[in-house]
Structure 1
Amino acid sequence: MNDKRRRHQLPSLNSLKVFEAVIRSGGVKAGAKILNLTPQAVSHQIRTLESQLGHALFERRARALIPTPAATLLAEHVREGLDRIGEGVRQLEQMREVRRLRLHVSPWFASHHLIPNLVSFTARYPQIDLQISIGAELSGFEDSIDVAILWGYGGWDGFEEIALAQDPKVLVASPDLLAIKPLNRPQDLLQHCLISPLVTQRLWREVLGLWHLDVADAMSVMRFHTNEAMLEAALAGMGVGLISEPDAAREVASGRLIAPFGFDLIQRLPADSIPTFFMLYPKDHAPGELVDTFRSWLEQLLRPDLETPFPMSRHPE
């Protein structure tokens, strides 16, 4: 009880901070400037502290405050105490940073792979705070993410790249569109509007190149930001699309789309010509334990045959 009573009788932290600033700066005005207070407020805090302690802390002269021996003794302990409090706050902030994992994820990957399976990650690592933004491109997110998962062919400046999974596409069109403009031979593609990803037309160039055709000769190209938007455009009969295989298979099975050249067309391309989902992290930052943990979980999710062990055997603190 005595220790508890003594703690309750301690001066306020605010008055001790004011006292330390005055000692460090050498005067009321200078201390007030450091603390963004008025000199009157600082003087009031000093007088209150002296009253609480029962000791004069300064000799007040015409143009100066001279610390008394009591002030010199107190200042040493106050400075040490404030330093320890500051260090404690810094360590808490570091703990929060270590537990936070900021992800930026391609929309299709997020909806088909990450979010449906994320419960297994959060159940295993409930201490990790996840922040997830969704977008097809980085576009200014580079400084505010730990990991990105993007679709494409690689070559993002400033990032290490890890190939996660290919995204095979299927060439599809709506029955209504093909009733008007049949696709009986590859050359007929040039009479259609080609539905393309906004980020790159490379896949259409590669596919048309199988038949020695050029995307520049197509009637028109309509570009969309996401696979979902391309799928909706194809379903609406706006053109011929290259749609991710699971979505294409579902819509072909339902009869809402047709795959006039089959499902294996993309497999005729070289492996490096098939778009891929990549995991990216900044080159100038070591990936860290959380990124390694997330990568291991993701690779095991996408390729369970690898039997990749989780690098952490317990929840990160």
Structure 2
Amino acid sequence: MRYRLPPLNTLRIFEAVMRHGSIRQAAGELCLTPQAVSLQLKQLESHLDQQLFQRTARSLTPTAAATQFYKHVRDGLDRFADGVDAIQPAPAKQRLYLYVSPYFATEFLVPRLGRFTSSVPDIDVRMAIGVELDEFNHKGLEAAIHWSYGATPDFVETPLVDDLKVLVATPRLLERLPVQTPEDLLKHSVVVPLVANSLWEDTLKLLGVTQRASQPIMMLHTHAAMMEAVLADLGVGFISYADAVRGVDAGRLVAPFGMDLLKQLPAGRIPRFSLLVRPDRRHSPILMQFTRWLLDEVCTEGVAGYASKCRPDQYADA
């Protein structure tokens, strides 16, 4: 059968642009200039006799035709990749290339990772640390452990463990600005994650605070930065459970409304760590083994110190 196809390189470039939503980011991944990527896209549009993108000075918006075409191009490239893998000799080492949220890496994964690697001889483990999924798209990364509220498009998601937060402040800050009623929180600056979240709004709702104030909100990129900001008396803040327990036990932090306040939130309102795998890698034996190990030995109530509502299997015997 003779195939009437555009140049295959234009399809690879089109797939990268659609995945990133950006010519510049796609160019960086493919080691091309943005001008070269734009030229290849115009060549593809000419071959198809279809406009694939609405272009402005600041945006690139796929047309309906591009969205429909993308599904077929992505599936086709996945099939090409499967074919290449099928005829290549098996690698001498199994590999596990991960992109992991900083707090999960330090609190959950790295201290226990030796238990997994000791059970898999000759495994090659590489781990990048970060919070933005854009970096996960770099070639070679196979799975991500990501902080979110779930429902991350384009990935197969396995919920691992809730990131239960505790609202805390230093004794010095509370001596200067006491919190004796929930409404007193409105006098304080608030330290929250930079990524999209509803922690502050949900906490005020749990406490029955209907009044709103325009107090400063400090949004920081990592949990470590949030912890340092709270310890520096920059505001009340949302600290992950294990660090909050250690801080309260050491007398460095106070939880004015208790350690368990945010446990009252329903599952969909509690941020969590999830394992994200590309659909074409979902049946990878090493990733399946790693997932089971995370669920059975790392992301458990015994390790975290609380039961996770994102893990309904934990309640099967309740």
User: With structure 1 as the length reference, what TM-score do the two structures score?
Assistant: 0.64
Q: Residue 311 of structure 1 aligns with which residue?
A: none
SS of equivalent residue, structure 1 residue 277: strand
| Cα offset, 1:283, TM superposition | 2.5
Partner Cα distance (1:214, 1:139) in 2: 37
The one-letter code sitting in structure 1 at the alignment partner of 2:223 is N
Range moving further from structure 2, 137-146 or 164-173: 137-146
Give the number of aligned pairs.
217
Partner Cα distance (2:212, 2:276) in 1: 32
Task: Please show how residues 1-80 of structure 1 align to structure 2 within 5 Å.
Answer: none
1:159 aligns with 2:155: yes
SS of equivalent residue, structure 1 residue 247: helix
Q: Choose from 188, 192, 196 the match for 1:192.
A: 188
Ranges of 4+ aligned residues in structure 1 off by more than 6 Å: none
Q: Choose from 263, 281, 291 the match for 1:267.
A: 263
Q: Contact conserved, 2:191 with 2:217, CA < 8 A, in 1?
A: yes
Q: Contact conserved, 1:102 with 1:147, CA < 8 A, in 2?
A: yes
- Cα separation, partners in 2 of 1:125 and 1:272, compared to 1, 3 Å: same
Partner Cα distance (2:103, 2:283) in 1: 24
1:133 aligns with 2:133: no
Q: Choose from 92, 107, 116 the match for 2:102.
A: 107
Partner Cα distance (1:130, 1:290) in 2: 11
Structure 2: gaps spanning 5 or more residues: 1-83, 303-310, 314-318
Partner Cα distance (2:163, 2:121) in 1: 30
Q: Contact conserved, 1:230 with 1:241, CA < 8 A, in 2?
A: yes
Q: Residue 120 of structure 1 aligns with which residue?
A: 115
The one-letter code sitting in structure 1 at the alignment partner of 2:219 is R
Q: Choose from 215, 218, 221 the match for 1:222.
A: 218
The one-letter code sitting in structure 2 at the alignment partner of 1:300 is D
| Cα offset, 1:304, TM superposition | 8.5
SS of equivalent residue, structure 1 residue 196: strand
Q: Contact conserved, 1:196 with 1:223, CA < 8 A, in 2?
A: yes
Q: Contact conserved, 1:149 with 1:277, CA < 8 A, in 2?
A: yes
- Cα separation, partners in 2 of 1:304 and 1:154, compared to 1, 3 Å: closer
Q: Contact conserved, 1:192 with 1:218, CA < 8 A, in 2?
A: no
- Cα separation, partners in 2 of 1:215 and 1:299, compared to 1, 3 Å: farther
1:201 aligns with 2:174: no
Structure 1: gaps spanning 5 or more residues: 1-86, 309-317
1:233 aligns with 2:229: yes
The one-letter code sitting in structure 2 at the alignment partner of 1:141 is F
The one-letter code sitting in structure 1 at the alignment partner of 2:134 is S
Partner Cα distance (1:206, 1:244) in 2: 16
Of all paired residues, the percent bearing the same amino acid is 41
CA RMSD of aligned residues (A): 2.4
Q: Which of the two has higher C-alpha Rg?
A: 1
Q: Contact conserved, 2:147 with 2:273, CA < 8 A, in 1?
A: yes
Task: Please show how residues 140-155 of structure 1 align to structure 2 within 5 Å.
Answer: 140-144=135-139, 145-155=141-151
Partner Cα distance (2:189, 2:210) in 1: 13
- Cα separation, partners in 2 of 1:154 and 1:304, compared to 1, 3 Å: closer
1:170 aligns with 2:166: yes
| Cα offset, 1:217, TM superposition | 2.9
The one-letter code sitting in structure 2 at the alignment partner of 1:108 is Y
Q: Contact conserved, 1:152 with 1:275, CA < 8 A, in 2?
A: yes
Q: Contact conserved, 1:281 with 1:287, CA < 8 A, in 2?
A: no
Q: Residue 88 of structure 2 aligns with which residue?
A: 91
Range moving further from structure 2, 100-109 or 285-294: 285-294
Partner Cα distance (1:217, 1:211) in 2: 15
Q: Residue 300 of structure 2 aligns with which residue?
A: 303
Q: Contact conserved, 2:160 with 2:274, CA < 8 A, in 1?
A: yes
| Cα offset, 1:169, TM superposition | 1.1
